[in-house]
Amino acid sequence: MSEALRALTGTPAGHNLALALVLLAAVLHAVFGALQKGRHDPWLARAAIDASYGVMAAPFALFVVPWPEPWMWPIFAGAFVIHSGYKYLQAMTYVRGAYTLVYPVVRGTGPLVTVLAAGWVFGEHFRPGQWAGVGLLLAGIFGLAAWNLSHVRLARDTLVAALGLALATGVLVALYTTYDAYGIRATHDPFTFLAWFFMIDGAFMPLVTRQLWRRLPSSELVPLIRRGMLGAVVAWFSFGAIMLATWIDTVGQAAVLRETSTVFAALIGWLVLGERVGRVQLALMALIAAGAVVVEMAG
């Protein structure tokens, strides 16, 4: 399969496939974020997800995909450190702020930094029309965050901390997006990177939260494990889709288009988590979608 995907690199068909993968990743990333912000502690929810996808990845990494080349081990070590920092900050952010407030800030910070980083690392450069689309998308994302900030009534005493953590988390989103795109391009088979990444990455949060697990009521154990298994499947397809998109096509454009996940996150917050979405928010979501369309059309 990797050879078939490699043949699509740089072709119109490859670009269309990358676009479909990015949109799939956007929907699933919003679902993934909501799974962490549901009824369970965000730390435990993330730990259950990570443990599940680590266990699921192990047989693929050990027995199915080709083993990593020697130079991949330092790359995996760097990815582990970056993703561990990202997950730690993300859990702290979700504990302190409403999902529909902090999620747009995280996702709005990431693409701008990623586009700049992709220009430096991969030599990718946006056209003026694409930058206009980025401006529209970011205006919608940060406008959504500002509107939510003015209307949210929960956890007002932790809003400043939540917003600061959300910005820091967004910077790490950009860092891991760029770094992982470099990592998946460094190995011959992209599925080797994905399988080994998930197996290695799944260890951090379960270790960090081992004390919390001991205090978890027994009645919550099975529901949390179910949430972890569902989240693991979502993570596999979400992260796998965006990584394959950056392998086939450009990193910066994939990073920007993925942030349409903010629209899906707002809908999930409204329909699933019971967080209100009004006309102003719908208009801002339309602005986000319009920005993504401009980025794609101008490219």
Identify the pLDDT of residue 77: 96
Rg of the chain on CA atoms, in Å: 19
Q: What is the pLDDT of residues 64-122, one digit of tens each?
A: 999 999 999 999 999 999 999 998 888 788 778 776 677 777 777 777 777 777 777 77
Nearest-10 crossing angle of helices 128-151, 99-121:
160
Q: 88, 235, 256: which is closest to 172 by C-alpha?
A: 88
pLDDT in tens, 161-220: 888 888 898 889 888 888 999 999 999 999 999 999 999 999 999 998 888 888 888 887
For residues 108 and 142, is the Cβ–Cβ distance under 8 A?
Answer: yes
Residue 223 and residue 219: Cα distance in Å, rounded?
A: 8
**Secondary structure of 183-203 in HEC code, one letter for each residue:** HHHHCCCHHHHHHHHHHHHCC
> Where residue 155 falls among pLDDT bands split at 50, 70, 90?
low
- Assigned token pair, 105: 């800030």
Provide the total of helices (H) and of strands (E) in the chain, helices listed first: 14, 0
Question: Cα–Cα distance between 295 and 130 in angstroms, integer?
Answer: 4
Whole-prediction pTM value? 0.82
